[in-house]
Amino acid sequence: MNSPLRFAAVGLEHDEIYRVLDRLRQHESAELAAIAERSGRLRMAAAGRYQTPVFARLTRLLAEVDCDAVLVATTNGEKAAAIAEAMRAGKHVVAHAPLAVSPEQLDAVAAAQAAAGVGLILLLPMRFTPAYRDLHAAVAQGKLGALSQAVIIDSQKIAATPRTHAFYDSPNQGGVLSTLAVHDLDVLRWLGGELTVMSAAVCRHGLTDHAEFEEAGIVHCAFANGGTAVVACNWLAPDAGAAFHELTVIGAAGSAWISGGKELAFAPAGDGPAPGAHSHRAYAATCDRPGHALPSDADRGAEDVDAAMVDAALRALTEPELRHAATSDALRTSRLAVTAQHIARQNGARHDGGA
């Protein structure tokens, strides 16, 4: 049996990092070796929670601790530097999205990866969510025919979790397209193949006191096969409502969708979710069948997306072919997101909607 991969982690400001660290600690193929975090308060909490050495700086951790990989979850604007530093030390990297917040930062990450030849895994939870896996299987099996159009509407809450100042600092946070649309653009790549960003825009409505914070953005893309796709993402989900993610895919032989609202509209009488419920299913309508739930083997009650994502990352780091594919995915998806953000800002496409 191979020895467990020894992981270090850097950055504890984002709540999601704790879910990943907890899964890593529970996995037989991984071992948490050390943590780096600049905040003294968070370092103290981490030392008690994880019972592992905790450092103030990644540089010192890399000099003193033997590890195979580094989990990077720093603030967005600092990720590229941390990733490149870990790679120069010969470590694989597993990172929360985004990898970078500008084309220049991503260039530096890509150069460091090419020079070191290490793995670069981007954590993409939507690829491990049952409904999206079911839809991906249907597309891969050709049930919808050639993809013609895809639309994603992604509405998230600003106040879903406690936000640090860095979240609202646009140069450091990266903007709505490089940080939020990155997940949606990855889903489109995963479903329909490579994309080209055709146009992009961002918008500020002044809902926060932070003058540069962008609440909404839109990206228009083209698939290599000639199809088109649109991502509309925002931080405008109301506090009293729920975050919302809708995906509709139109193919030459059928259509498919994931959305609570559409599930209710197309579910057979007596066989659909109750009003207000969300069954997390993918649905389709094809030339020979009306609206129906796509087949799924997932146990909805027991599905742990974070555990599945961590398991896949560990497999990718230990299998060269998977590692190469995952590294390519991380760089290509990230390039789409930072390109879209750059186009929006370069063209002056941002506009103020007014409070």
Q: What is the pLDDT of residues 13-34, one digit of tens each?
A: 877 889 999 999 999 999 999 9
What does pTM read for this prediction?
A: 0.90
pLDDT-derived band at 110 (thresholds 50, 70, 90) equals very high
Query: Which alpha helices (DSSP H) does the chain contain, by range?
Result: 16-26, 40-50, 58-64, 76-88, 103-116, 130-140, 165-168, 170-173, 176-179, 181-192, 260-266, 305-318, 320-346
Q: In the 8-state DSSP scheme, what is residue 243? A: -
- Categorize the per-residue pLDDT at 87 as very low, low, confident or very high, splitting at 50, 70 and 90: very high
Q: What pLDDT was estimated at residue 260?
A: 58
How many beta carbons lie within 10 A of that of residue 273, not counting itself? 14
Rounded to an integer, the average pLDDT of 62-74 is: 97
Token code pair at residue 94:
């597993």
Q: Name which residue leads in pLDDT, 118 or 351.
A: 118
**Cα-based angle 90, 93, 96 (whole degrees, multiple of 5):** 160
CATH fold group of domain 5-118? Rossmann fold (3.40.50)
* Average pLDDT of the segment spanning 151-173: 78
Tell me what percent of the residues of the chain surpass a pLDDT of 90. 67
pLDDT of residue 160: 62
In Å, what is the CA distance from 274 to each residue of 243, 258, 300, 340?
A: 18, 16, 16, 38
Q: How sure is the predictor about 293, in pLDDT bands with cuts at 50, 70 and 90?
A: confident
What residue segments make up the domains of the chain, in order of their start? 5-118, 126-293
Residue type at 166? A
Nearest CA among 69, 240, 39 for reference residue 157: 240
**CATH superfamily assigned to domain 126-293:** Dihydrodipicolinate Reductase; domain 2 (3.30.360.10)
Q: What are the tokens at 114?
A: 């090419």
Neighbours of 239 (CB within 10 A): 8
Q: Is the pLDDT of residue 170 over 80?
A: no
pLDDT value of position 286 = 84
